[in-house]
Amino acid sequence: MKIAILINGSIRKFQNTVDEIKLSFDGLDYHIFISEYAGHFMQLCSQALDAEFNCFVLVGGDGSLNEGINGIIKYYQVNESESIADFDWLAISKIRVGVFAAGSGNDFIKSVNLDESLSTLVTNIKNQSSQMVDVGWMSCLDFNDQYTVNFFINVTDVGMGGEVVRRKSKMPQFLSGKLTYFLAITTTIALYKKCQLKAYNDTFQWQGKVLNMVVANAKYFGNSLGIAPDADVTDGQFSLVIVGDVSLFQYFKKLPLLKKCVKINHPEVSYHRVNEINIVPTDKRTITIDMDGELIGKAPMSLKCLQQKINFIC
């Protein structure tokens, strides 16, 4: 087993984290790769796979996990069209992927009942403990109006989610992850003008005014907000959560339920189970897409849940 440890170079307490990793992985066959800029994880994954590493530890938040997952999957792309069949899923399933949660948002691990300790991660690696989990496929337009395909393991959303990510990126680095997300969410809700969206597939259709529309593979986003209580990362289904024409007061009134990962009983909030979904704007606004805490592109977009494609260490 060759272990590639990919570390987000911008995380807080970077050197302390590196020192802790070196101590914890002593005696194992590992190499540390440092990500120096946005998108670098993709390149580092290719380098590590070229060198026949077969176990990956992604050190950072959900955005780092997302980059790593995309780097591994796209390394095994066999055709250029980027349809689901254009990737070698058998080869991908043989790469074990784990996370050391050291970023501002560490939501995915909660859906596989993992804690944030490095000792748990190392124990699972030594015991070869892992689980096949679902991954989402998503096509959209990037910010240059070019067709693009990306994958996600946690949550993709449209509406205020993209604005939250934009505001979060401008927050001072010394703030904690929870405080950063809280400030970004509250300021966004206070100022955000709801968008008009349509969501549909062969058997489902919804259209209306939206505060946020969430396509969830896992339960949590926004630093521990349990937006999708019914989500299961192994069942091949998304939890589609539609937060419609909800006011700032109503949102904050229901916030304790989100923190407890409990469904919201409100006429403008609905929960649906879908294997695939198309989401299109019905007005002329540009609707940005938030994928695992990163701005990916803009709607319209199409999404499909691919069952048990990622071998996740847990």
Residue 249's pLDDT band, with cuts at 50, 70 and 90, is confident
Give residue 152's pLDDT.
97
Instruction: Compute the distance between CA of residue 294 and CA of residue 156 in angstroms, rounded to an integer.
Output: 9
User: Residue 238 has which token pair?
Assistant: 């998304």
> How are beta strands 288-291 and 205-210 bridged, if at all?
unpaired
Other CB atoms within a 10 A radius of the CB of residue 196 amount to: 15
Task: Tell whether the model's pLDDT for residue 103 goes beyond 80.
Answer: no
Domain boundaries, the chain: 3-135, 136-306
**Percent of the chain scored above 70 by pLDDT?**
89
Tell me if residue 231 falls in helix, strand or coil.
Answer: coil
Tell me if residue 131 falls in helix, strand or coil.
Answer: strand
Which pLDDT tens digit goes with each residue over 257-306?
888 999 999 999 999 999 999 999 999 888 889 998 788 999 999 999 99
For residue 163, give the nearest of 39, 299, 292, 287 by alpha carbon.
287
Instruction: Compute the distance between CA of residue 202 and CA of residue 214 in angstroms, rounded to an integer.
Output: 19
Sequence-distant (6+) residues with CB within 8 A of 107 are: 62, 154, 155, 218, 220, 221, 222, 223, 224
> What is the Cα 214 distance to its own chain's centre?
12
- Please spell the DSSP secondary structure of 155-194, one letter per residue: EEEEEHHHHHHHHHHTS-TTS-HHHHHHHHHHHHHHHPPP
Q: What is the CATH number of domain 136-306?
A: 2.60.200.40
Residue 40 has what DSSP assignment?
Answer: H
Give residue 179's pLDDT.
64
Instruction: Compute the distance between CA of residue 33 and CA of residue 17 in angstroms, rounded to an integer.
Output: 13
Instruction: Compute the distance between CA of residue 180 and CA of residue 165 in angstroms, rounded to an integer.
Output: 10
CATH class of 3-135: alpha beta
**Taking the CA atoms of the chain, what radius of gyration do you get in angstroms?**
19
Instruction: Compute the distance between CA of residue 14 and CA of residue 232 in angstroms, rounded to an integer.
Output: 32
User: Residue 125 has which token pair?
Assistant: 């690696």
**Mean pLDDT for the chain overall:** 90
Which pLDDT tens digit goes with each residue over 147-174?
999 999 999 999 877 666 666 665 566 5
